[in-house]
Structure 1
């Protein structure tokens, strides 16, 4: 596709939506106007297809079983009648279009679902700074607020360095004694 067309399509997208894939269980919050009143209706079902991902108006097909009858909604994602789309569960599927589900019974259509906490952690971690950077920033903030803590921290570092030096000296002494005893045994 031409780069200008892709840029135009991206500029037309107004809402920030979760990363949707076929097999996801989603809740679609739709505005419904009845006379003068307006209300929100929630339609929860399995996302069986996404059509036109690269276009300015991709369409999703959501299916659910209502009172034993299969009901499908085909909706433009960026429609002004859609308030939001919530991701409830994510299934492990191997196809981008799940039209074969239409002929299956509810029981045979069961899928393995993934825990959403994995996905939210990945999203959060990509936005967050690495742990080392966060720790350094916290230390700098503490030093600015309390200069005595810097002195205490330096003294702790010196003490820990002395302990490490003493331990290495002990191990060296130990290994030297072991070598001397081995040499004495060989001479005998």
Structure 2
């Protein structure tokens, strides 16, 4: 009787789909994400630029919540980092933060929602 270790098998399959060329993403980073969009039979890349509010780590299911302000309205979007629809991620600038989740930015308006820049 052959006994398979299912957890190990699942991990091996997931590792083949992980992206290796990702930058180090941290909470408070201002990033630009290129998302592939299919329109009819054409495919193009649309960029989404904003601040990382939250990050959830669980190997292939790693997600980030990105918030941007568009015409005075806050828009949040959750991205699956290792998804094939994500073409590129670039870190524009980093911010100095002292929290793991920046949900308090949802309630702040205008200049109050600015974060202090971190220089590397």
TM interval, short-chain normalised:
0.7 to 0.9
Structure 2 residue 55 is the aligned partner of structure 1 residue 77: no
Pairing partner for 1:49 from 50, 54, 58: 54
- Residue 33 of structure 1 corresponds to 38
Once superposed, which parts of structure 1, at least 4 consecutive aligned residues long, lie more than 2 Å away?
7-12
Structure 1 residues not aligned, in runs of 5+ = 119-188
Deviation sequence 1:44-94 (CA, Å, 0-9, x none): 00000111x133220110000001111111010011111011000000001
After TM superposition, give the deviation of residue 11 of structure 1 in Å.
4.6
Residues 50-129 of structure 1 mapped to structure 2, 5 A cutoff? 50-51=55-56, 53-115=57-119, 118=120
TM-score after normalising by structure 2 = 0.84
TM-score after normalising by structure 1 = 0.55
* Bigger proportion of residues as strand: 2
Find the aligned partners of 2:15 and 2:108 in 1 and give their Cα distance. Answer: 36
- Residue 25 of structure 2 corresponds to 20
Could you tell me whether the CA contact under 8 Å between 1:21 and 1:96 is conserved in 2?
no
Find the aligned partners of 1:11 and 1:37 in 2 and give their Cα distance. Answer: 28
Q: Per the alignment, in what secondary structure is the counterpart of residue 56 of structure 1?
A: helix
Greater relative CO (CA pairs within 8 A, separation 6+): 2
Aligned length: 113
Q: Kindly tell me: are residues 113 and 56 of structure 1, through their superposed partners in 2, closer, same or farther at Cα, counting changes over 3 Å?
A: same
After TM superposition, give the deviation of residue 106 of structure 1 in Å.
2.5
Could you tell me whether the CA contact under 8 Å between 1:26 and 1:87 is conserved in 2?
yes
Structure 2 residues not aligned, in runs of 5+ = 1-6
* Bigger proportion of residues as helix: 1
Q: Per the alignment, in what secondary structure is the counterpart of residue 105 of structure 2?
A: helix
Q: Per the alignment, in what secondary structure is the counterpart of residue 39 of structure 1?
A: strand
Q: Give the root-mean-square deviation of aligned CA atoms.
A: 2.0
